[in-house]
Amino acid sequence: MAKKVIFIILSILLAIAYVYPLSPPSQLPAIGILEPIKETDRILILAPHPDDEAIGCAGVIQEAVSKGAELKVVYLTNGDHNQVTFIVYEKRLTLRTGEFMHMGEVRRQEAIKAMQLLGLDSNNLIFLGYPDFGTFRIFREVWQESKPYMDILTRISKVPYKENFSFGAPYKGESILADLEKILREYKPNKIFVSHPADANVDHKALYLFLQIALRDLKREIPQPKIYAYLVHCIAWPLPRHYHPGLDLNPPIQLLGSQINWLKFDLTPEQLTHKHKAILCYKSQTSSSAFYLLAFARRNELFGDYPEIELNKEESMHTQVASFFGFSDMFNESRQADWDDLGSLAGGRGRVSYGILDENLLMHIDRIQELNKKFSVQLYIFGYSHKMPFAAMPKIRIITRYKRFKVFAARKMIKPEGVSLELNPNELMLKVPLKILGDPDFILTAVKTYAGILHTDTTSFRKISIGQRR
């Protein structure tokens, strides 16, 4: 029996190694060097949870401190929803409301200790305290007249931490957006480090999305800063696990071939040692996940984002491509024809492209496998218009089930005119009138595909500028 178990485990490990090799691919993308940090910089680190700032930016933080640059760290949540790690850490169940708040306070204190170790005073740390694992749900559907989001486990619907910047703020989109805009307006950073739109964690996606809206709202009020996105959660990355200070941190294989402009910051041996120690300050997390968290303590830190997609303002039909990435059925197909190729993500099962035609947004999915009755799609489209507060803009989600579809505006299912779906053996085309999206200046959009209930593929959130329309 024991031999069978060992054989199964070894087979799984070999399969993973085949799909995601432990050694970096022979052809890595060109990785540039992060712009040097100067004394005159005003740097803002946006962290979804306490520990993300150390994982992704500990070297940058130390460099900023050593150069005398201004620096602040803003935490979207207190990270109070990770029950598994706290059960391991405290060796007891933590299911009551008070216990969740205790979790959040533990992680806040860990963050203070970690940042002090890197040379940053607690006065430069801002904790917002919004619901861990709930901020993407808030972004997509909790605005205006909606009741505040209530966490299913804590039963809390407003920021409960008295020490936090946002104490008492209801769990609503306006609250998070107002806090970010207040910080940006008063601090006026020239460089912002934020979680990546391709990150698998929903809070990481949400913080990136909120930042995009906040910056556009403040476009005329503050100088627009440079944005550097850092990645934390991605399948089978980084490998190998555990602490390997002699290795480079390279882009995930899933993102090779994309148009992400990767940049790296090389850490000095002293900075790397302090990063290692800062990550270990998060004992509530490393007690169960040190093998993963310490894999980020390497010779460099990695930053990069997708370019904004700009649909052609003159042609009546012009599409841009964003690729899927998934765990299996790897292929790397290049199609020119009608599409401007943004690069293929190795590990994908298909492509999604976007276009404008006759005041309609078109979304086209092209897959290598034939679509069957179990195939379904979930499409998010969040539009922004300078003519309307974002809170009032439609937050559209479309769910397809083979040849049928449903459209939701936030939580409410709607039946708008003009939405159509066309399905062929290997492709799907959705048409959505721009009017339904609020006639946006740009959209933030992502696609997920499913085979039955099994999630198979996803695209990162992409920013698509609509431009002038005829």
Q: What integer pLDDT is reported at residue 311 of this predicted model?
A: 84
For 3-51, how does the pLDDT look when each residue is reduced to its tens digit (9 = 90+)?
Answer: 444 434 434 443 343 334 444 444 667 899 999 999 999 999 999 999 9
In this prediction, residue 320 has a pLDDT band, given cuts at 50, 70 and 90, of low
CATH 3.30.70.380 fits 25-303, yes or no: no
For 335-346, how does the pLDDT look when each residue is reduced to its tens digit (9 = 90+)?
Answer: 222 232 222 333
Q: What integer pLDDT is reported at residue 18 of this predicted model?
A: 33
Tell me the average pLDDT across 379-386. Answer: 97
Share of the chain above pLDDT 90, in %: 66
Q: How many CA atoms lie within 13 A of 380 on its CB side?
A: 22
In this prediction, residue 389 has a pLDDT band, given cuts at 50, 70 and 90, of very high
Q: What integer pLDDT is reported at residue 329 of this predicted model?
A: 25
DSSP assignment of 136-183, as one string?
A: HHHHHH--TTSPPP--TTT---B---TTSTTTT-BSSHHHHHHHHHHH
Report whether pLDDT(437) > 90.
yes
pTM tops 0.85? yes
Residues 6+ apart with CB under 8 A from 291: 241, 242
In this prediction, residue 312 has a pLDDT band, given cuts at 50, 70 and 90, of low
In this prediction, residue 71 has a pLDDT band, given cuts at 50, 70 and 90, of very high
Q: Are 101 and 160 in contact (CB under 8 A)?
A: yes
In this prediction, residue 290 has a pLDDT band, given cuts at 50, 70 and 90, of very high
Residue-level length of the chain: 470
**314-341-357 Cα angle (round to 5):** 35
Cβ atoms within 10 Å of 211's Cβ, excluding its own: 21
Q: What integer pLDDT is reported at residue 215 of this predicted model?
A: 98
* Domain spans in the chain, listed from the N-terminal domain onward: 25-303, 309-465
Report whether pLDDT(450) > 80.
yes
> Can you read off the two tokens belonging to residue 91?
């060796």
Report whether pLDDT(390) > 80.
yes
Mean pLDDT of the chain: 85
Distance separating alpha carbons of residues 324 and 377, to the nearest angstrom: 12
Distance separating alpha carbons of residues 109 and 122, to the nearest angstrom: 10
Fold agreement between 25-303 and 309-465? no
Report whether pLDDT(427) > 60.
yes
Share of the chain above pLDDT 70, in %: 81
Strands of the sheet with 226-230, listed across from one edge = 125-130, 70-77, 42-47, 191-195, 226-230
Q: What integer pLDDT is reported at residue 95 of this predicted model?
A: 62
For 347-365, how does the pLDDT look when each residue is reduced to its tens digit (9 = 90+)?
Answer: 345 778 888 988 999 998 8
Q: What integer pLDDT is reported at residue 93 of this predicted model?
A: 62
For 100-126, how does the pLDDT look when each residue is reduced to its tens digit (9 = 90+)?
Answer: 888 899 999 999 999 999 999 999 999
Would strands 462-465 and 42-47 be described as parallel, antiparallel, or unpaired? Answer: unpaired
Q: What integer pLDDT is reported at residue 328 of this predicted model?
A: 27
Of 107, 114, 110, 154, the residue nearest 133 (C-alpha): 154
Q: What integer pLDDT is reported at residue 326 of this predicted model?
A: 42
In this prediction, residue 91 has a pLDDT band, given cuts at 50, 70 and 90, of low
Would strands 125-130 and 70-77 be described as parallel, antiparallel, or unpaired? Answer: parallel
Q: Are 31 and 264 in contact (CB under 8 A)?
A: yes
Q: What integer pLDDT is reported at residue 426 of this predicted model?
A: 83
Domain at 309-465, CATH class = mainly beta
Burial 347-371 (b: 16+ CB within 10 A, else e): bbbbbbbbbbeeebbbbbbbbeeeb
Query: Which helix (H) or strand (E) segment is 98 a member of?
Result: helix 97-117
Q: What integer pLDDT is reported at residue 324 of this predicted model?
A: 55
Tell me the average pLDDT across 85-110. Answer: 74
Q: What integer pLDDT is reported at residue 371 of this predicted model?
A: 73
For 146-175, how does the pLDDT look when each residue is reduced to its tens digit (9 = 90+)?
Answer: 999 998 878 899 999 999 999 999 999 999
Q: Considering only residues 257 and 212, tell me which one the structure prediction assigns the higher pLDDT.
A: 212
> Can you read off the two tokens belonging to residue 267?
């850490």
Report whether pLDDT(388) > 70.
yes
